[in-house]
């Protein structure tokens, strides 16, 4: 019961999130070289920050596909409006490299344990 409360679970062990699919943006091919490296460094730093703050349950890239899908976020917020504010913090979204597509998603509250577990699996940064 304590864990369910901590994770914001309902009686089914579920909660509302916002699913975000990052699609290839209109400026993707224009952003190159050092600027692209800087934008993606900011993109990854922002992912870490949002996960550490408990606002992002899961994030990750897609393999090459014919849908222009580039990445996925599952935001730990209950409204599209809240998720829009968070996704606009991403330098790659701001730069037009990615365009976000947001929708409500009802999933397991255990998703909120992924970030903590991931840190135990991740190779330490040098």
How does pLDDT run across 17-35, given as a tens digit for each residue? Answer: 999 999 999 999 999 999 9
For the chain, give the mean pLDDT: 94
Bridging pattern class, strands 14-24 and 69-75:
antiparallel
Query: How far separated are the first and last CA of the chain, in Å rounded?
Result: 39
Q: What is the pLDDT at residue 116? A: 81
pLDDT, tens digit, 9 for 90 and up, residues 54-72 = 999 999 999 999 999 999 9
Question: Under DSSP, is residue 14 helix (H, G, I), strand (E, B) or coil?
Answer: strand
Q: Which two tokens stand for residue 45?
A: 């730093």
Strand partners, 19: 74, 103
Q: What is the pLDDT at residue 81? A: 98
* Selection from 91, 76, 102 nearest residue 14 by Cα: 76
Residue 123 confidence (pLDDT) above 90: no
pTM for the whole thing? 0.89
């Amino acid at each position: 019961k304590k864990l369910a409360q901590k994770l914001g679970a309902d009686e089914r062990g579920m909660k509302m999130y916002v699913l975000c699919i990052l699609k290839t943006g209109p400026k993707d091919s224009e952003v190159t070289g050092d600027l692209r490296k800087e934008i993606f460094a900011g993109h990854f730093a922002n992912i870490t920050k949002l996960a550490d703050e408990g606002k992002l349950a899961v994030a990750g890239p897609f393999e090459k596909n014919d849908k222009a899908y580039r990445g996925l976020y599952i935001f730990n917020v209950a409204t599209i409006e809240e998720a829009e504010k968070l996704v606009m913090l991403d330098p790659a979204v701001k730069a037009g490299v990615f365009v976000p597509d947001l929708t409500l998603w009802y999933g397991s509250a255990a998703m909120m344990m992924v970030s903590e577990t991931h840190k135990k699996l991740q190779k330490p940064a040098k």
